[in-house]
Amino acid sequence: MKVLIVDDEPEHLSTVEALLKQRGYIVVLAADGREGFEKAVETRPDLIIMDIMMPVMDGTEAAAHIRSHPVIKNTPIIFVTAAISAEEKTSLGESQNLIFPKPVKFSELLDAIRRFENGKKF
């Protein structure tokens, strides 16, 4: 399974990348929302793990672009964020989205990924 990780924090990118690669996942990285959208179109991941607060293009805007793209619009997104407003939470409340607070508990993130792999909704 291919997972795209989008985050502007290099430490978070490298930590999640290493943990997923150890478990056999193919990992693609992006440092902001614009790059994340472009890599999603280019690589067509099975799942996206994306920060919300990022420079250039934030996660909510990147998700809107993803949802409007005919090829990747149904790609599940797991959002990770240090803070989220009620408005953002409402706008991200689609069934193919899940939100985790930072710092992410990797065991919970991995459980969510496994549920997705087993065909269950988030």
In a domain, 44, yes or no: yes
Question: How many Cβ atoms are within 10 Å of 32's Cβ, its own excluded?
Answer: 19
Q: Could you list the pLDDT tens digit for every one of the 122 residues in the chain?
A: 999 999 999 998 999 999 999 999 999 999 999 999 999 999 999 999 999 889 899 998 999 999 999 999 999 999 888 765 555 555 555 545 678 777 788 898 999 899 888 875 55
Q: Which domain holds residue 90?
A: 2-117
In a domain, 122, yes or no: no
Kindly report the CATH number assigned to the domain that includes residue 49: 3.40.50.2300
In contact, 122 and 94? CB cutoff 8 Å = no
| pTM of the full structure | 0.86
- Strands of the sheet containing 26-30, edge to edge, are 26-30, 2-6, 47-51, 77-81, 97-101
In a domain, 63, yes or no: yes
Q: Count up the domains in the chain and report the number.
A: 1
Q: What is the dihedral of CA 62, 66, 68, 74, to 10 degrees?
A: -140
